[in-house]
Amino acid sequence: MTRPALIVSLCILVAGMAAITTVVLVRGDSSAAPNMSEKQRETREKFFGTSKPLAPIEKGQEMRPKW
């Protein structure tokens, strides 16, 4: 095998391994989140607010942050 062919083969091998590693890592992270306990759910709602939809915007009401 010539030197350029060997270099190309190694580059293809490294790229293939990187692609496989990426797929394995992405699929591992996308697993469903475990169910939260009631205490965790209460803490989450306290920190982020409830999961209820926001109230409709009234006519003439400004949309800007409350800070």
pLDDT in tens, 47-63: 887 767 777 777 777 77
Tokens of 12: 């293809």
| Average pLDDT for 11-40 | 83
DSSP tag of 37: P
- Give the separation between CA 63 and CA 54, rounded to whole angstroms: 13
Q: Average pLDDT of the chain? A: 82
In DSSP notation, 10-44 reads HHHHHHHHHHHHHHHHHHHHTSPPPPPPHHHHHHH
Question: What is the reported pLDDT for 30?
Answer: 57
The reported pLDDT for the residue numbered 3 is 93
Q: Which residue has the tokens 């293809």?
A: 12
pLDDT at residue 25, as a whole number = 85
Contact status, residue 25 vs residue 17, Cβ threshold 8 Å? no
